[in-house]
Amino acid sequence: MTNKATLANGCFWCTEAIFKRINGVISVLPGYTGGKRENPTYEQVSTGATGHAEAIQLIFDPEILPYETILDVFFATHDPTTPNQQGADIGTQYRSAIFYHDEEQKQIAEKKITELNNSKEYTEALVTELHPFTMFYPAEDYHIDFYDRNKQHPYCKVVIDPKIKKLINKFKENLLQE
């Protein structure tokens, strides 16, 4: 049995690279969600006018990878306290958001957000949005596997490599064995 998760936490090149390395993830697809325009393009989403966020959609095996662990990785690998921004990426398309697929995912996400806010792990309150999933539009082919195809790209070296290192350090037991 598999399940689906849809998450937005900044640049989808980063989040795809992170979640592809987690045991129990069957597939990761970068794309767009949370907006009004049907079949948006990267150029349209990049303007911020479509309302979409850069996101990923995961197919995962909940027997191997519980949804709670997906959210642990999600929150640990981006800053959920900055509205509409991740590092130098600024705009609503880079917001932190969880698009839940059922009531159970919603409850787990609400609990996790409350726990993190109460833990004082962050100096600011979380701004992660929580919305029911509606539609996901896959990104253009050149965005798929961007990190693995372009590891020498400056963005990959400066932004994604440190996130991968953090993932390895914090979630070693959840990583795929190479």
What are the catalytic residues? 11
For residues 102 and 107, what is the distance between their CA atoms, to the nearest angstrom?
9
- Smallest CA-to-CA distance from 55 within 89, 91, 87, 99 is with 99
For residues 176 and 178, what is the distance between their CA atoms, to the nearest angstrom?
6
DSSP assignment of 44-80, as one string?
HHHTTTT--EEEEEEEE-TTTS-HHHHHHHHHHTS-T
